[in-house]
Amino acid sequence: MFKVFKFGGASAGSIDRIRQIPVILRASKASGQRLLVVISAMGKTTNALEKVAEAFFGGHKEEALRLFGQIKDNHLTTAKYLLVHNYLAAEAQLKDFFTEVEWLLHDKPVREFDYYYDQIVCIGELLSTSIVSAFLAESGIGNQWIDVRDIFRTDANFRDAAIDMTVTAQRVEADIVPLFGDDDMVITQGFIGSTQDNESTTLGREGSDYTAAVFANLLDAESLTIWKDVEGVMNADPKQFPDAKILRELNYDEVIEMAYYGAQVIHPKTIKPLQNKDIPLYVKCFLDASLPGTVIHNNAVKGLPPIIVLKKEQVLVQLHSKDFSFVGETGTAKLYALFGQVRVKPNLMQTGAVSLQVCLDDRPARIERLALEAANDFDVQIERGLTLLTIRHYDMGTLTRLTAGSQELLKQQTPQTVQVLMR
Ligand code: ASP
Ligand code: MG
């Protein structure tokens, strides 16, 4: 049987944390079990690499190289601290990846930004997994490292690439399964893939959870465990709500709804591959593996407390038909098509006879395009800096408490869920 583990950036964010990985693996891996481990880029490396891509694309080559130099130093220092016997081999592997990026940074950008973004940003997970794989080997945990770009085939929609499941499934069967001996471990990356022309792609920020779930699906794994620096899934963000409680058990639907409304629990795409094969997802605390964490599965869960999600940086776009022609299906259909074209997703929407109000995430360039296009048929008003409150399984007390002192601009209520857009 296979199991899949995923360690997030926080679990690989420092030397001390990386030292914890073999401790967890030894304690959690039963003998005879085959474990595939997906590891994110170390700490804030992905953000740092984004800065490199921006500097490069902005024509600031020296700045890009300087920023990349810091990332190199960081990884070499980490490797030096952790490794003795395997240091030189790991250093050689890291340097190959450094060269991959530097070679590109010395060119001039001639393609679109998203392409360069992916070629640069994908390096983060390759570096972290190289170090961890070597460290595990040195800690007596035999493992096979593999570049997931050789497994995960995607389309060329850079920064938001879609996985080609057919090709990827064939490669998992042909190239991943044989890597396992009876009791082996495979270490690989999440979040990245490559096109049929061997160009690197990324699956969208925080995409490692998704990769891990796809692996679990394709391997028919018995479970996926995501190791985080929190106790499990909470009913609210503890940074915003200090009395947030841990949820021991959830079902897939609940989690997908929470993620959809903006809870930063798990990448929203993660659930489908698991749900489709009825694979349970465990969210466990990396700092203390003895804590029970949260289990997410297919069965109904009763008696959940109110689950609260606050989404900041919301925009309210109000559209009012100029000639009163926005009545009936065609007007609405046209607007939905426009949302698709400019790639915005309504978080909350209210339609009237000749007007429509929609709450969106503030992606300034997209909102501007939307406003421009819509201005042909509508008077457009935009208000920024709003907060969208969503409460699942709400009670009136919680709703009143959380909306006190704010002005309500838009509200939608079902027996299950209430949403309020607040100023
Ligand atoms: N390293 C990537 C990110 O920070 C992917 C991930 O961690 O899931 O977005
Ligand atoms: Mg992460």
pLDDT for 327 equals 59
Taking alpha carbons only, the member of 404, 342, 403 closest to residue 368 is 342
CA angle 387, 392, 398 (to 5 degrees): 70
pLDDT for 318 equals 94
Q: Encode pLDDT of 164-200 as tens digits.
A: 999 999 999 999 999 997 668 999 999 999 999 999 9
Of residues 315 and 206, more confidence is placed in 315
How far, in Å, from the CA of 267 to the mean position of ligand 2?
Answer: 9
What is the average pLDDT across 149-161?
97
With 80 as the cut, is the pLDDT of residue 328 above it? Answer: no
* Alpha carbon nearest to ligand 1 atom 6, residue: 206
How far, in Å, from the CA of 102 to the mean position of ligand 1?
Answer: 21
How far, in Å, from the CA of 331 to the mean position of ligand 2?
Answer: 40
Q: Which uninterrupted H or E stretch holds 296?
A: strand 294-297
How far, in Å, from the CA of 203 to the mean position of ligand 1?
Answer: 9
With 80 as the cut, is the pLDDT of residue 359 above it? Answer: yes
Shortest-distance atom of ligand 1 to CA 125: 1
Q: Which uninterrupted H or E stretch holds 367?
A: helix 364-374
pLDDT for 266 equals 82
Contact between 367 and 344 (Cβ < 8 Å): yes
Q: Using a 6 Å CB cutoff, which residues line ligand 1?
A: 8-9, 40-41, 46, 124, 190-191, 205-208
pLDDT for 326 equals 66
Shortest-distance atom of ligand 1 to CA 210: 8
Contact between 280 and 296 (Cβ < 8 Å): yes
How far, in Å, from the CA of 379 to the mean position of ligand 1?
Answer: 39
* Alpha carbon nearest to ligand 1 atom 3, residue: 206
Beta-carbon count within 10 A of 354 CB = 16
- Which band of pLDDT confidence, cut at 50, 70 and 90, is reported for residue 45? very high
Shortest-distance atom of ligand 1 to CA 191: 5
How far, in Å, from the CA of 10 to the mean position of ligand 2?
Answer: 7
| 12: CB partners within 8 A, 6+ apart | 18, 21, 39, 40, 41, 42, 43, 128, 132
Pairing between strand 224-228 and 281-285? parallel
Residue from 39, 46, 122 to probe ligand 1 pocket by mutation (most atoms less than 8 Å from CB): 46
Q: Encode pLDDT of 261-319 as tens digits.
A: 888 778 888 999 999 999 999 999 999 999 999 999 999 999 999 999 999 999 999 99
How far, in Å, from the CA of 24 to the mean position of ligand 2?
Answer: 18
Contact between 325 and 419 (Cβ < 8 Å): no
Q: Encode pLDDT of 236-248 as tens digits.
A: 998 889 999 999 9
Distance CA 308, CA 283 (A): 19
Percent of the chain with pLDDT over 70: 99
What is the average pLDDT across 79-95?
97
Q: Encode pLDDT of 100-149 as tens digits.
A: 999 999 999 999 999 999 999 999 999 999 999 999 999 999 999 999 99
Residue from 75, 203, 208, 269 to probe ligand 1 pocket by mutation (most atoms less than 8 Å from CB): 208
* Alpha carbon nearest to ligand 1 atom 8, residue: 206
pLDDT for 325 equals 74
Instruction: Identify the structural domains of the chain with CATH numbers, from first to last.
Output: 2-229 (3.40.1160.10), 307-422 (3.30.2130.10)
Residue from 205, 224, 228, 270 to probe ligand 1 pocket by mutation (most atoms less than 8 Å from CB): 205
Q: Which ligand is nearest to the CA of 190?
A: 1
pLDDT for 208 equals 96
Distance CA 238, CA 187 (A): 31
With 90 as the cut, is the pLDDT of residue 28 above it? Answer: no
Write the DSSP string, 170-203: HHIIIIIGGG--TT-EEEEESSEEE-TT--EEE-
pLDDT for 332 equals 78
How far, in Å, from the CA of 351 to the mean position of ligand 2?
Answer: 37
Percent of the chain with pLDDT over 90: 83
Shortest-distance atom of ligand 1 to CA 8: 7
173 residue type, one letter: E
How far, in Å, from the CA of 400 to the mean position of ligand 1?
Answer: 36
What is the average pLDDT across 362-372?
93
- Which band of pLDDT confidence, cut at 50, 70 and 90, is reported for residue 82? very high
Q: Encode pLDDT of 379-409 as tens digits.
A: 999 999 999 999 999 999 999 999 999 999 9
Please identify every residue whose CB atom is under 5 Å from ligand 2, which is an ion.
8-9, 40
pLDDT for 355 equals 87
Rg (CA), the chain: 23
